[in-house]
Amino acid sequence: MKYKFTINGEQVNGGTHYDIENPATNAKIGASPIATREDFERAVTAAKHAFSSWSKVSDSERKDACHALAGVLEDNMEELAALLTHEQGKPLNGLGSRFELQGCIAWSRYTADLELPVEVLQDNEEGRIEMHRKPIGVVGSITPWNWPLLIAIWHILPAIRTGNTVVIKPSPFTPLSTLRMVELMNTVLPNGVLNVVTGTDELGEWLTEHKDISKIVFTGSIATGKKVMWCAAKNLKRITLELGGNDAGIVLPDADPKVIAEGLFWGAFINSGQTCAALKRLYVHVSIYEDVCIHLTNFARSIPVGNGIEETSILGPIQNEMQYNKLKELVDDAVANGARVLLGANPKNGPGYFYPTTLLADINDDVRIVREEQFGPALPILKYTDVSDAIARANDSENGLGGSVWSSDKDKAKAVAMRMECGSVWINAHGAIQPNVPFGGVKSSGIGVEFGSEGLKEYTTIQSIFGL
């Protein structure tokens, strides 16, 4: 089946297409259109035109539209979940496609109900001053392939809620689910408010450079984020960058290895590790190191990996060959450098890009899989003796997205959490994001935040009105 763009509320054929494959089977599942410069310009023009009216509709109308979008997602949840599984590889069950769709619905509803009321900054004999928040214009959204629909919702909903219009460009690896979701969302939106175009990475550059696009919201790698920032400077676009992470977890000596094993596992292996704020390096106190390794290995063995369309699968394949090869290289390098394999590290040849759940012990900080973001189902487990040393090692990274501390004493854990250089820290959990809590990275992991009213504000500019 050939998928289509949605531009100005209409289904638009692309001239050329490329095949999308199922990462569990390598079977072709559909063809994605490749936007020409002309297709792209049509989408930007439609969004620009729609902005003149959408920016002026009442707040309650925009709120209702966002609730209607949540309804559309709910009504079409099973169809979208199945398409996501075929395209992305994540299972229907577990923390997979249905979970992702439930997140889309929850985030849509929560964002719909957020308000940014006028603030009165002064109201006295010298006059009244009000601060208003206004939409920015056309928002260009660029998304990655790991959580294609949820991340699209994180970009689209706050943009639309605050009166902006959107042109979204999904990852070339996972375009189909976004094409279909935007088509469905357009059944309840005015024409041009939400447009989707797909194609190669070049389309991302067109978006970031375009003079009629006023803000870019980008989720992806640090390397591409730097390019986005560079291009966006040309017309001083507003930017939100949610970039890569190399999150560390620190297990304090008072933690119970048996109790924390399940939380550690899901912190690291959610979406087969292909998650920005997944646990990617685990520092464990020497006194409980072997126990943590044993309990984590036992739990990991119990989680079935398979084709996501089978209801029994809880973890699926890597999404694409490039990522599979990168992960394989990093694990092979760790093993060559003396890592002890507790589990996995020995993939079978296809079909599909299945990589076994892998746990690596006795590994040093300078090994590549510790220094670089592996973005796959392999966790290095490192030993420490002094907690200050563990914090220093955890912080010794250009990344600063998330972190976690594992302990049976919350006060002790909080003291360690506050010394970690990252945007979010979880105690006895990892990566559990919520729509009411701002999420974003420090250092090279990003600029700005998403979620909650802090995230909503990023889609507005401030206008202060004096002399009232």
- Window 382-441: residues binding ligand NAD (CB under 6 A): 401, 441
CA distance 229 to 139: 15
Q: Of these, 103, 137, 220, 344, which contacts ligand NAD (CB under 6 A)?
A: 220
Question: Mind giving me the DSSP string for 400-442?
Answer: -SEEEEE-S-HHHHHHHHTTS-SSEEEES-SS---TTS-B--S
Q: Residues 255, 407: contact at Cβ < 8 Å?
A: yes
30-89 binders of ligand NAD (CB under 6 A): none
Specify whether the CB–CB gap between 432 and 426 falls below 8 A.
Answer: yes
Contact 309, 24 (CB under 8 A): yes
Give the residue, chosen from 88, 164, 224, 407, that forms a contact with ligand NAD under the rule CB under 6 A. Answer: 224
- Could you write out the DSSP letters of every residue in 163-190? T-EEEEE--TTS-HHHHHHHHHHGGGS-
Q: Identify whether 78 is a catalytic site residue.
A: no
Binding mask 9-38 for ligand NAD (x = CB under 6 A): ------------------------------
* The only residue of 14, 373, 394, 413 in contact with ligand NAD, by rule CB under 6 A: 373
- The C-alpha atoms of residue 185 and residue 156 are separated, in whole angstroms, by 11
Determine the interface stretch with ligand NAD among 186-194, 198-206, 340-348, 385-393 (rule: CB under 6 A).
Answer: 198-206
- Over the window 261 to 300, marking each residue x when it contacts ligand NAD by CB under 6 A and - when it does not, the resulting string is ---------------x------------------------
Contact (CB, 8 A) for 63 and 161: yes
Binding segment for ligand NAD (CB under 6 A), chosen from 167-175, 251-259, 299-307, 410-418, is 167-175
Give the burial class of 286: count Cβ atoms within 10 A of its Cβ; 0-12 exposed, 13-18 middle, 19 or more buried. exposed
Q: How far apart (Å, rounded) are the C-alpha atoms in residues 433 and 438? A: 9
Q: Which of residues 124-143 bind ligand NAD (CB under 6 A)?
A: 142-143
Does 172 engage in binding with ligand NAD (CB under 6 A)? yes
455 forms part of the interface with ligand NAD (CB under 6 A): no
Q: How far is the CB of 442 from ligand NAD (least distance, A)?
A: 11
Report strand pairing: 16-21 vs 28-34: antiparallel
Q: Which is nearer to ligand NAD, 91 or 441 (CB)?
A: 441
The answer to the question of residue 206 lying near ligand NAD (CB under 6 A) is: no
Residue type, 324: Y
Among 154, 152, 137, which Cα is nearest to 438's? 154
Q: In the bound complex, what is the minimum distance in angstroms from residue 271's beta carbon to ligand NAD?
A: 10
Provide the minimum distance between the beta carbon of 201 and ligand NAD in the complex, in angstroms, as a whole number.
4
**For ligand NAD, which residue of 228, 305, 343, 405 counts as binding (CB under 6 A)?**
228
Give the strand pairing for 279-285 and 247-251: parallel
Q: Does 330 bind ligand NAD (CB under 6 A)?
A: no
The reply on whether position 204 binds ligand NAD by CB under 6 A is yes
Tokens of 313: 């699968």
Count, residues near ligand NAD per rule CB under 6 A:
29
For ligand NAD, the closer CB: 76 or 424: 424
- Residue from 227, 238, 328, 371 touching ligand NAD (CB under 6 A): that is 227
DSSP single-letter state for residue 349: P
- In whole angstroms, what is the distance from residue 153 CA to residue 145 CA? 14
Residue 276 appears among annotated catalytic residues? yes
276, 293, 373, 450: the active-site residue: 276
Question: Least distance to ligand NAD from the beta carbon of 377, Å?
Answer: 15
Cβ 371 to ligand NAD, closest distance in Å? 14
Q: Provide the residue type at 329 as one letter.
A: E
Per CB under 6 A, 201 contacts ligand NAD: yes
Tokens 């943590």 sit on residue: 292
* Residue among 87, 242, 450, 458 flagged as catalytic: 242
Asked whether the beta carbons of 268 and 429 are under 8 A apart, the reply is no
Quick one: 275 or 357, whose CB is closer to ligand NAD? 275
Handedness of CA 134, 136, 139, 145 (dihedral sign): negative
Among 135, 403, 446, 452, binds ligand NAD (CB under 6 A): 446
Helices 59-75 & 97-112, crossing angle to 10 degrees?
A: 160
User: Do 155 and 147 meet the contact criterion of CB atoms below 8 Å apart?
Assistant: no
Q: Which residues are catalytic?
A: 242, 276
What residues line the site for ligand NAD (CB under 6 A)?
142-146, 151, 169, 171-172, 201, 204-205, 208, 219-221, 224, 227-228, 242-245, 276, 373, 375, 401, 441, 446
